[in-house]
Structure 1
Amino acid sequence: MEEMYDVCRRHMNCRVRVHTRCGECYDGVIVNVDRNNVYLRTSGGVRISGWFGPGFGYGPGFGGDILALSLFTLLAIALI
């Protein structure tokens, strides 16, 4: 988890594609990272393969929201 934390810190304010261990893929800009989570700002034109429904802060039509992902679930991060 420490390695993912360092990768996220180095890519703050960069546009990235994040892949999780669950097979989900998220595009956005890293706006913050702490020892447990990375925070992505998504936009209306960004592909989000996950859907957690109303009340979770993002989903289709909720462009520009912040998505928190656990560093533990991250598999890979790529610059886009």
Structure 2
Amino acid sequence: MEAYYNCMHCMNRKVRILTRDGKVYEGKIVKVDRNNVYLETDGRRAVTTSAFVPYGYGFARRNQILTLSLFTLLAIALI
């Protein structure tokens, strides 16, 4: 429950999240529910999915939304 309240406190702010398995993620928290935190990344980190939207005659890269389980979070810090 502590991770949930910490994420809610950091909503819409840039954070660095450390998970129990040692991975580090950076981005802006855009949503939190009782099980997950949704982190908008800038696309610079290696993430398995990407999103594209039509832009003029080509495509523009959108920021990615990464879903992390609240149960795997070890630490969260504002950046």
Give the TM bin, normalised by the shorter chain: 0.7 to 0.9
Moved >2 Å (runs of 4+): none
- Calculate the aligned-residue CA RMSD, in Å: 1.7
Q: Which amino acid aligns with 2:31?
A: N
Contact 1:18 1:78 in 2 (8 A): yes
Structure 2: which 5+ residue stretches go unaligned? 51-60
TM-score, length-normalised on structure 1? 0.78
Cα displacement (A) at 1:71: 0.2
Q: Which amino acid aligns with 1:70?
A: S
Task: Point out the structure with max Rg over C-alpha.
Answer: 2
Structure 1: which 5+ residue stretches go unaligned? none
Which structure has greater strand proportion? Answer: 2
When the two structures are aligned, how many residues end up with a matched partner? 69
Identity of aligned residues (%): 55
